Structures are given as structure tokens and as C-alpha cells.
């Protein structure tokens, strides 16, 4: 098997059938063999698409600064833009050092992307085989057994892996033919890590019996990917049938599905929300404890990266932690970020109805509930206690103290994007848009 920039060009063209043509290729550049080959071949394969090599330094190796210098020098030698980033890896995630470093790396890469960018990762055929085996050992379902996807949405752009059908021996031959230099990560041989154990202890044994085992495993991953796609289609149909959004599933509708479809829909909805998947036992707890709970109860199950709560007829899928609403902030033209899991509030001028322009020009302030607030919403005939209003409207309890309250001076003029005060409305006006917020009802 051989590899060339012409083949890479063909792989990228095939991926464009699933995604729009990239505005830029952003290479996840570790400086190792695989990403070095990808970067080098891409110079000739990219055509007129700009290239950027991004190296993420986790600070976990003594010579990480030297790796960054090597990566920068290599990028300069092939005349592509280079960015070196430093991230902090939290040891307290509970997911292990590999997963924590991966999350930090992808978060940093995510921040480098602009709309229609493609982030290119150099995963190859053996990486796919290792991922499938690792997920089998973990007890994963079809989505996990499908392993590494060739292309998927990622932030404002796409994450593509054009080397999945190329084995590492072929990549090494390309590097040697072109006299490329790369760095070797010493942790790649540390068998304490699950992936390295599979790479160095398990796969070589399998290859003595089945030399093409990586090809076979990739074929299984492709079949599992098709099955996972069908399950996603079924979940989408169930979501539509229940007239639900991924962040809030109706308990009565969910209870009417078979247990297998309940699990499938929950996994699908969590994935759509960008939340971490639960273990099998956590998923069972959701179905056995949260779903059948009393209407007046407020049960929940949480795990690293996500939580599921029930209120009345709603099953709410949320981040593990919700930030407290920020207090006493000026709302400018750029809007206000409300914190983890709470989204962003911004002003939109020229709306059919909204806050009066005069009030907005005088300045608005965001604050949180302190108790005792009174408010007369537009369209209602008298002033109400905000506490009573939230109860009657069925706003979920965990969001009541996180609602952003908008003040003009000392006067409460709006509650999030739910209500505007009757004496603060004008047509046209300035609308409040709350994007990325969790479900409130």
C-alpha cells in the first residue's frame, strides 16, 4: 500500500460530499509521525485552501517546549502558518489523564475554528482498530463500536480524519521517502494506558493469526456505524413523535416507548446536547428512579459531564453543573455570557416589540433574584410577585434563581427573554435574545 498527496486529495474530495468545501484546513499537529505526514502531504493536496498547523502543549512532558519548537520549525519549513497553544490539564476530572488531556486539547482546537473550517486529525487505520477494541472492552454500544468517524460537525466547522483507510506502516514509508523528522512521545509506549496496552500487547498477537486484523476491525466499525445511524434515525423519529426538544423530554411520552427505545432516545438527546454519556447503570437509574418518580418530586441523576432532572412532566437533560447567574453586570451591545450551561443574553434592535429604545440608551443592568421582586408583565393587568409568577408559569425550580433579571436603574424591566414589563414595552423595540439557555418549562 502506498500513500501520496494525490490520494489525500481524493480522500478530502470524497469527504466534501458530506460537508461544505472548507474555508481553511486546521491541522491538529502533535509533531508525531502521523500528523507530520498529514501536514506535509496536505501542502500539495490542499489546492487554494489555506493551511494552519496548531500544536497543543499539555505541559505534561519535560521537553514539551522542545516539541513546540520542533513543530514551529517544521511548519516554517513547509511554509504553512503555525500556532502553538498551551493548555492546563485538570487532574480532577475523574476521567483519567488520557481523557483529560484529550478534552483540553479539543477544547483548545475548537476555539481556533471559524465557520466552515475543517479541523484535520491524523488518525489512521490502527487507531480505528484500537478504538473499536477499547470500546468493546468498555461495553460500548453501536455508536462506540463504530469507532472514529471520518467526518462530523465540530463547533462552527467540521472535524475530518482523511487517513482512516491508511495504515501506519504506509505513513512511515512516506515519511522516510521524504526525509521527514518527527518527535516520539515517550508515553506512547507506557502500557499503563489502556490504548498503549492494546497497541503493543493485544494487536500484535491478533496480527500473528490475522495479519489483516485492522482491515477486518475497520469493516466491523463501518457496519456498526451504519447501525448507529439507523438508531439515530429512529431516535429522531421518536423525538418528532413526542413533539420534544433534546433538552426536555415529556415523561408521559417517554414512558410509552419500549425500554430499548427509551435508552436510545436518551442517548441521542444527550449527544445532541453535547453532554457526556452515562454508564449502563446510570441509564438504568434514570429509567427506574427518575422517570417513574412522583409528579411533586424532583429526582435527578448526575455523572461527570451531565445530569438528568425531572420536574412535573419534563425530563431535563443538563450539564453536570450550572453556573450561578452573574450579578450586577452592565449589558452592552455585545451581550452578556451568563456562565456554564446558561448561555448568553444579548440585545437585538429593530424587533417588532421589545424594550423601549429610550430605556436601552439610558443603560441596562443585569442582576439576580434577591427575593421580594414585583413585576407586571406586558399583557397582564396587575403587578405580581415574581416568585408567584414563576411558580404559576411552571419555570423549573433550579432555574428560578438563575434567571437574569434586567433593570433600568432600580426598576425591573424584563425577566430573561420570558417577560417584559408592561411600562417598558415599545413597538418597534429592542428584543432580548437568550441563546444557549437550558429548558425553563
- Residue spans of the domains in the chain: they are 5-219, 242-317, 329-435
pLDDT digits (tens, 9 = 90+) for 353-388: 888 888 888 888 888 888 888 888 888 888 889 999
pLDDT digits (tens, 9 = 90+) for 269-312: 998 888 888 988 999 999 999 999 887 788 889 988 899 999 98
What pLDDT is recorded for position 61? 67
**pLDDT grade, residue 95 (50/70/90)?**
low
CATH 3.40.50.720: does it fit domain 5-219?
Answer: no
What pLDDT is recorded for position 381? 81
For cell 443538563, the residue is: 318
Please answer whether residues 430 and 355 qualify as being in contact, where contact means their C-beta atoms are separated by less than 8 angstroms. Answer: yes
Q: Taking the CA of residue 92 as centre, how many other CA atoms within 13 Å lie in the half-sphere pointing to its CB?
A: 0
Q: Could you give the CA distance from residue 399 to residue 440 in angstroms, rounded to a whole number?
A: 7
> Which residues lie below 8 Å from residue 61, measured CB to CB, with a gap of 6+?
67, 185, 186, 187
pLDDT of 112 above 70:
yes
pLDDT digits (tens, 9 = 90+) for 304-356: 889 999 998 999 999 888 888 777 788 877 778 888 888 888 888 888 888 88
Out of 81-95, 167-181, 365-379, give the one with best mean pLDDT: 167-181
Fold of 242-317: Chorismate Mutase Domain, subunit A (1.20.59)
Query: To the nearest whole percent, how much of the chain has pLDDT over 70?
Result: 96
Q: Could you give the CA distance from residue 75 to residue 39 in angstroms, rounded to a whole number?
A: 8
**pLDDT grade, residue 127 (50/70/90)?**
very high
What pLDDT is recorded for position 189? 81
What pLDDT is recorded for position 371? 84
Amino acid at each position: 500500500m502506498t500513500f501520496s498527496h494525490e490520494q489525500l486529495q481524493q480522500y478530502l474530495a470524497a469527504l466534501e460530499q458530506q460537508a461544505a468545501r472548507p474555508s481553511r484546513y486546521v491541522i491538529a499537529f502533535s509533531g508525531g509521525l502521523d500528523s507530520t505526514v498529514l501536514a506535509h502531504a496536505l501542502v500539495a493536496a490542499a489546492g487554494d485552501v489555506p493551511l494552519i498547523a496548531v500544536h497543543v502543549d499539555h505541559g505534561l512532558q519535560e521537553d514539551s517546549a522542545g516539541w513546540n519548537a520542533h513543530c514551529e520549525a517544521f511548519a516554517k519549513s513547509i511554509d504553512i502558518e503555525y500556532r502553538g497553544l498551551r493548555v492546563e490539564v485538570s487532574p480532577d476530572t475523574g476521567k483519567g489523564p488520557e481523557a483529560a488531556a484529550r478534552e483540553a486539547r479539543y477544547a483548545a482546537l475548537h476555539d481556533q475554528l471559524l465557520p466552515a473550517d475543517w479541523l484535520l486529525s491524523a488518525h489512521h487505520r490502527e487507531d480505528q482498530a484500537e478504538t473499536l477494541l477499547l470500546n468493546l472492552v468498555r461495553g460500548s454500544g453501536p455508536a462506540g463500536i463504530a469507532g472514529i468517524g471520518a467526518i462530523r460537525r465540530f463547533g462552527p466547522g467540521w472535524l475530518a480524519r482523511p487517513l482512516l483507510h491508511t495504515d501506519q506502516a504506509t505513513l512511515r514509508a512516506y515519511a522516510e521517502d521524504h526525509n521527514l523528522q518527527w518527535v516520539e512521545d515517550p508515553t506512547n509506549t507506557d502500557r499503563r494506558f489502556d490504548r498503549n496496552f492494546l497497541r503493543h500487547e493485544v494487536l500484535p498477537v491478533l496480527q500473528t493469526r490475522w495479519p489483516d486484523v485492522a482491515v477486518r476491525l475497520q469493516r466491523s466499525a463501518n457496519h456498526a456505524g451504519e447501525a448507529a445511524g439507523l438508531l439515530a434515525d429512529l431516535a429522531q423519529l421518536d423525538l418528532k413523535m413526542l413533539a420534544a426538544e433534546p433538552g426536555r423530554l415529556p415523561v408521559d411520552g417517554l414512558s410509552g416507548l419500549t425500554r430499548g427505545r427509551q435508552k436510545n432516545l436518551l442517548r441521542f438527546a444527550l449527544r445532541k446536547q453535547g453532554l457526556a454519556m452515562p454508564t449502563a447503570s446510570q441509564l438504568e437509574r434514570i429509567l427506574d428512579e427518575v422517570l417513574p418518580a412522583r409528579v411533586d418530586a424532583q429526582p435527578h441523576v448526575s455523572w461527570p459531564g451531565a445530569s438528568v432532572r425531572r420536574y412535573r412532566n419534563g425530563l431535563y437533560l443538563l450539564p453536570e453543573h450550572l453556573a450561578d447567574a452573574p450579578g450586577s453586570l452592565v449589558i452592552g451591545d455585545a451581550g452578556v455570557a451568563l456562565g456554564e450551561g446558561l448561555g448568553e443574553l444579548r440585545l437585538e434592535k429593530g424587533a417588532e416589540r421589545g424594550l423601549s429604545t429610550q430605556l436601552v440608551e439610558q443603560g441596562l443592568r443585569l442582576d439576580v433574584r434577591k427575593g421580594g421582586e414585583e413585576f407586571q408583565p406586558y399583557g397582564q393587568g396587575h403587578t405580581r410577585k415574581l416568585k408567584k409568577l414563576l411558580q404559576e408559569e411552571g419555570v423549573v425550580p433550579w432555574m428560578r434563581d438563575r434567571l437574569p433579571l434586567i433593570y433600568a436603574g432600580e426598576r425591573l424591566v424584563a425577566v430573561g427573554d420570558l417577560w417584559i414589563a408592561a411600562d417598558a414595552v415599545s413597538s418597534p423595540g429592542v428584543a432580548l435574545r437568550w441563546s444557549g439557555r437550558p429548558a425553563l418549562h
